[in-house]
Amino acid sequence: MKKWVFWFVIVVLLGYEAIQQHSATGKKVNQLEVEESAYVVSSPGKENLTTIKVTKDQIYQGNLVLINQDYPVHQIGMQTDILNLFQHKELVKGFGLLDNTIRLSQSVIQAFTTMISAADKDGIRHFLINSGYRDNKEQSQLYKDMGAMYALPAGHSEHNLGLALDIGSTQADMNQAPEGEWLIRNAADYGFILRYPKDKTAITGIQYEPWHFRYVGLPHSKVMQQMNLSLEEYLAYLKQQKNITTKVKGKIYEISYHPITRNSTIQVPNNRSYTLSGNNMDGIIVTVLP
């Protein structure tokens, strides 16, 4: 009887040790997967959260608003820091302007200048801004002149928003110029995306435009680049996943989607910085910054 008890205890101890080893190994594997993944679906904790009020108007504002044939620019979503760059030559550094009518959001031109400065270090320095912000009258005339194949109706163009610009090169067409090639590789590092890629025309509804870039900000531009997503696809992805975490240049960002149907409340961290952006459809994206 004593011998039976002795062997029983031995078997139980060996089994417990095996379970502990398996658990420890599993924990290490999970940590490795998170560290090496560019983006992972996450479930944010409830600690250090505070509740804030948001209005339905927030849906129509921010760097991630979707503007296309189905979702127009709302007046409240237009950038309020639009400048005529010809009249602010101190902001025109390292690139040219097609003419003296080019207007753009000041925050976007600052991000663009940072990007162009990085390109200059790589020996790429023949950039030209061909178009920026357009008001509805200008867009309406362009639509009349160019037709539906080459332009969108007034209010449905990203150029009516202030976050998009047409970038050219003084050397060649953008689909052949070194400037175009550099932007394809590097624009996402500075918050810009090629809005109408060649392989996304069925999704965007717009023909390939190698010159049209849109500012969406980090980390969103990098996630879109890594996953090869158009803005339409990226917003649908966020809506489906609800919460993701991504690492960009060693910094961790947390992104979450919140459906909004009327004035409501959402939870945000009270000990970390964050930004809000509507998607111009049905919700708000919260980006928790490093």
Ordered strands of the 95-97 beta sheet: 95-97, 127-131, 164-169, 212-215, 192-194
Candidates 36, 209, 233, 254; catalytic one: 209
Q: What is the DSSP secondary-structure string of 93-112? A: -SEEESSTT-EEEHHHHHHH
Q: Are 231 and 221 in contact (CB under 8 A)?
A: no
Tell me the HSE value of 87 on the side-chain side, using a 13 A CA sphere: 8
- The conformation of residue 70, written as its DSSP 8-state character, comes to S
Question: Which distant-in-sequence residues (6+ apart) come within 8 Å of 4 by Cβ?
Answer: none
Cis peptide before 219 (omega within 30 of 0): yes
Whether 233 sits among the annotated catalytic residues: the reply is no
Closest CA to 216 of 285, 160, 281, 144: 285
End-to-end CA distance of the chain: 63
Catalytic machinery residues: 209
